[in-house]
Amino acid sequence: MVDTLTELCSKFAGLMFILGTIQQLVPHSFYKRIKSLWHRLENYFYPYVQITIDEYSNDKRNEVYALIKVYLGTKSNQDAKYLKAEMYKNSKSLAVSLDEGEEVIDEFHGVKLKWNSYKETFPDNSQRGRSQLLIEKKCYTLTFNKRHQDMVTGQYLKHVMEEGKAIEFKNKKQKIYSNDNGDWYWYGKGMWRHINFEHPATFDTLAMDPKKKEEIINDLVAFSKGKDYYSKVGKAWKRGYLLYGPPGTGKSTMIAAIANFLNYDIYDLELTSVKDNSGLKKLLMETTSKSIIVIEDIDCSIDLTGKRKKKKKKETTNTEEEEDSESSAEKESNNKESGKLTLSGLLNFIDGIWSACGQERIIIFTTNHVDKLDPALIRRGRMDMHIEMSYCKYEAFKVLAKNYLGIETHPLFQEIQRLLEEIDVSPCDVAENLMPKNASGMPEVCLNKLIQFFNRAKIIQVLNKAKKARLNSQNKKFSTKLVKTCGRLKMLFE
């Protein structure tokens, strides 16, 4: 097909020249007839249209050209002989593209489309007098049959752009941003500074109940594919997750796993560095789509409950929904009066009208004390999914054993399972004990070390319970003795 096309092109270029000559020799009416006949012939013999996409348009890099380049890089493997490989600054992997002079045939809905890559060089006339420089002009051409013009301009080019964007997004290096500007080694201007995000956590390495994990993954997939759904129901395309649980249970690790799963950037929002509500709004406006905004340890970041508590005292009969929304006048006076960050400012940040200034965003709060948080902050709709990160149970232990020791079963697993049912230990502690100190005797050595750790933890937990029980004891003399004994025993085991 391609050879025939090229041949036809050169023949018709010759015929165009003949037509030009005829125009000068014959009367105008006769020429018009010839021309109309010519068009019919042309459509019959050469029914093709060509679209050219230049690398630069109005002296600016043409984004369409860049996306086509990315798209054709994935199509070129079968047809083209000469390819180029380049490493871009913010890309995770090498980008392959068509070399100049190459061509690729793409197929869309059964229609064949021909792409060509060209490069022209010509002298730069603006540099008169000096040794002349050469200017390079690159472009792609897309050639297809005229009868598919609507499909190509309506659907195919849109498809190329979307695919190009998706490939570009998959290859981009993730970044983590911070508003804590005290750290000089972060890059960038404006309110956020960034560095590359290279955390290795994934859902495969995250130790937790497999059912819960699957539920979270499904939720994330539904969210990332939910563009049409969100616009259909009229909701801003964002989702809130509250991660709560004791220290070392994997809340921060989960955030890294989510970011890696979706390939999103992270905005680590340090509330103590935010001056006031308008500062928070500005920060929000500087975040991009496809990102995760994280507020870690929300319970101890800042005292956000004061104002609301006062308000709650005033109101006795309102519903929760009414409690959430302060009247705008009251809000304004609150902000002006204090000139600082308030709970209503944070609520507006999460789901006020400004929160829709970017799309496809996830907001995550983490806390060790979920009961300390203002209910308005974490109500469903704001924090859509509440995820408890709990102490390590047997299923989670198996994931850690696989990650750290590369084993899926072992005779000592039974003992470990029994102990895990009796004690509360964080995955962080289990992981620490599974880390081999040297290569000898693995994995036996590590598992035995873990069992010892569990036994110690069990005794400490029993002693702690006994200590607490003293409070309820009527016999003061006995309880004081018990506390002393517990304290001594605890010291032996810690």
Region near ligand ATP per CB under 6 A, out of 32-40, 376-384, 423-431, 452-460: 423-431
Find which of Mg ion, ligand ATP, none residue 355 binds, CB within 5 to 8 Å per kind. Answer: none
CA proximity to 272, closest of 370, 182, 368: 182
Q: Which is nearer to ligand ATP, 307 or 398 (CB)?
A: 398
Residue 362 binds: one of ligand ATP, Mg ion, none (C-beta under 5 to 8 A by kind): none
Q: Which of 68, 72, 207, 373 binds ligand ATP (CB under 6 A)?
A: 207
CA 407 centroid distance within chain: 31
Q: Which is nearer to ligand ATP, 168 or 296 (CB)?
A: 296
Spatial separation of the C-alpha atoms in residues 42 and 13, rounded to whole Å? 11
H-type alpha helices, 244-385: 251-262, 277-285, 298-301, 306-314, 320-324, 328-338, 343-351, 375-378
List Cα–Cα distances, 332 to 80, 310, 327, 339, in angstroms. Answer: 63, 16, 9, 10
Kindly state whether residue 49 participates in binding ligand ATP, applying the rule CB under 6 A.
Answer: no
CB under 5 to 8 A by kind: which of ligand ATP, Mg ion, none does 250 bind?
A: ligand ATP
Strand partners, 114: 105, 143
Binding of residue 301 to Mg ion (CB under 5 A): no
Residue indicated by tokens 């308005």: 376
- Residue of 99, 67, 300 lying closest to 171 (CA atoms): 67
Which of the ranges 58-66, 248-256, 340-348, 379-387 carries the binding residues for Mg ion, by CB under 5 A? Answer: 248-256
* Interaction residues for ligand ATP, span 343-382 (CB under 6 A): 368
Nearer CB in complex with ligand ATP: 202/475: 202
262 binds, among ligand ATP, Mg ion, none (CB under 5 to 8 A by kind): none
Residue 252 within binding range of Mg ion, rule CB under 5 A: yes
- Contact stretch for Mg ion (CB under 5 A) within 9-17, 101-109, 187-195, 252-260: 252-260
Please list, in sequence order, all residues whose beta carbon lies within 8 angstroms of the beta carbon of residue 378, skipping any fewer than 6 positions away: 242, 365, 370, 386
Q: Which stretch binds ligand ATP (CB under 6 A): 77-85, 173-181, 287-295, 425-433?
A: 425-433
Regarding 213 and contact with ligand ATP (CB under 6 A), the answer is no
CA 13 to centroid of chain Cα atoms: 51
The residues, any chain, with a CB within 8 Å of residue 213's CB and separated by 6 or more, are: 203, 206
**Quick check: 257 binds ligand ATP (CB under 6 A)?**
no
Residue 219, amino acid: D
Find how far residue 204's CA is from the centre of its chain.
17
Per CB under 6 A, 301 contacts ligand ATP: no
Residues 233-252 that bind ligand ATP (CB under 6 A): 247-252
Among 66, 428, 457, 489, contact with ligand ATP (rule: CB under 6 A): 428
Beta strands (DSSP E) in 124-181 are 134-145, 175-178
Q: Which positions lie near Mg ion, rule CB under 5 A?
A: 251-252
Q: Which positions lie near ligand ATP, rule CB under 6 A?
A: 205-208, 247-253, 368, 389, 427-428, 431
